Structure 1
Amino acid sequence: MEQGERAATAGPPGAETSAPTPAGRPRDPALDEAIILATRRRLVLDGYSKMTLGDIAADAGVSRPTLYRRWPGKFELVVDALDWGFRAQRESYPTLELADLPPHQAFREALRRVDPCYFNPDAIILQGGFMGEQPRAPELLELLRERAVEPRLTLLLDVLRGLQERGHVRADLDIDTLTTMCFGSFFGAFLRGDTDGAALAERVAETVWRVIAVDTTT
């Protein structure tokens, strides 16, 4: 382990971090982003346990002290790298009020946003890596659940609940289980070699809608 790196237990799940900024040395946003992007790439290529701050620094074209001035350790850097991705995904969503869309369209758009790879094509690999790290760094998987998985699934749940209340989908529908099944479809497709998430979301939405809709013409 390199000097300055921390084990995953260095911070509690979902802990907010704020990197120290030396007095008189303003942060360079472009430099920060280069480090964040290098971290995200290393998470995909090496996984959390094997990636090092030295490799990240080299990939970002900075020195290791530059990293240490911004983040106290690997865990804190990874938290910020994940949060960067979560924010970027939310910002990439079309400016649509799902509640104002026709029922079928609202369901389809909410299901599209459940796709782990909606913004980042490597997201399933990254999430699979975190699942593999669970015995060594359970905090990372909990962080992923809290900040990436649950917000997406809650969005779909809310849309389905609203459609249920307005009589557009079956009242006896177990929307929690359905939401889990929709989320799992992307991982199942990945394992089968089908990596076209956009087309998959459309196919899943069309297939599921025929089963759950009260009026399939909407």
Structure 2
Amino acid sequence: MTDETRPGPGRPRDPQVQDAILRAAHDLLADEGYARMTIGKVAAGAGVGKPTVYRRWPDKHALATEALRYAFERRQTEVGALDLAHASAREVVTHAVQRLFGRSDDGSGVRIVAKVMAEADQNPALLDTLRTEALQPRRELFIRTLRELQSRGALNADIDLETVADLCLGGYLAAYLMTGPDNLDDDRARASRLVNGLWPYLSRAADT
């Protein structure tokens, strides 16, 4: 991709350029971390010039913030809605766990979390951004899925949904810490193990 020409008054900016920049920024956050990410590297990865990036975002933090938001929204568009009508409750929960930070999401989500946590002391504002743009949206979407299953009578009405969400998020981070980014097992298998362990608590008594 080549750099865009400078837009004239009222001319819309190329959305493909915008997407390329956000993808490049997200990849750098996952691969190198925020401290080593630069506007120059992002521009090179997107195939544009630095002025093109600065015309859209005033600084690196603003770009990283939107890149995290963009990655979550893009992922939701790609995978679509869960099929609550035709899948069993256990299958739905397993798929919902997979979507937290599964390998189908190329593993970049959990790598970004690890890198931001490593830089948290030097950059607490970035950790706040990670919470609001990456962790909270995933957690809230997961909780909404569990709440919908509860409303249909498919899950135990007394379960603490927030605790379940935290346990499942923590399961991915624990796997990363124990095995490293290149040795994580299949996300479907990992999600299944998490759900199997929680199922006696999640399911109605008749389903356990």
Fold shared per TM-score above 0.5? yes
Structure-2 separation of matches of 1:166 and 1:24: 50
What runs of 5+ residues in structure 1 fail to find an aligned partner? Answer: 1-20
CA offset at residue 42 of structure 1? 1.7
1:106 alignment partner, one of 92, 98, 110 = 92
For the pair 1:65 / 2:51, whether they are aligned, the reply is yes
Matched residue of 1:98: which SS?
coil
What runs of 5+ residues in structure 2 fail to find an aligned partner? Answer: 1-6
Aligned to 1:199: 189
Question: How many residues are treated as equivalent by the alignment?
Answer: 198
CA offset at residue 175 of structure 1? 3.1
Structure-1 separation of matches of 2:165 and 2:68: 23
Maintained 8 Å contact 1:44/1:126: yes
For the pair 1:53 / 2:39, whether they are aligned, the reply is yes
Cα RMSD (Å)? 2.7
Determine what percentage of the aligned residue pairs are the same residue: 35
Q: Counterparts in 2 of 1:133-212, with a 5 A limit?
A: 133-164=119-150, 168-193=154-179, 194-195=183-184, 196-212=186-202
1:30 alignment partner, one of 3, 16, 19 = 16
CA offset at residue 137 of structure 1? 2.5
Structure-2 separation of matches of 1:124 and 1:191: 10
Change (3 A) 1:34 1:94: closer
Structure-1 separation of matches of 2:23 and 2:152: 43
Structure-1 separation of matches of 2:51 and 2:145: 47
For the pair 1:215 / 2:203, whether they are aligned, the reply is no
Return structure 1 stretches of 4+ with deviation > 6 angstroms.
Answer: none
CA offset at residue 167 of structure 1? 5.1
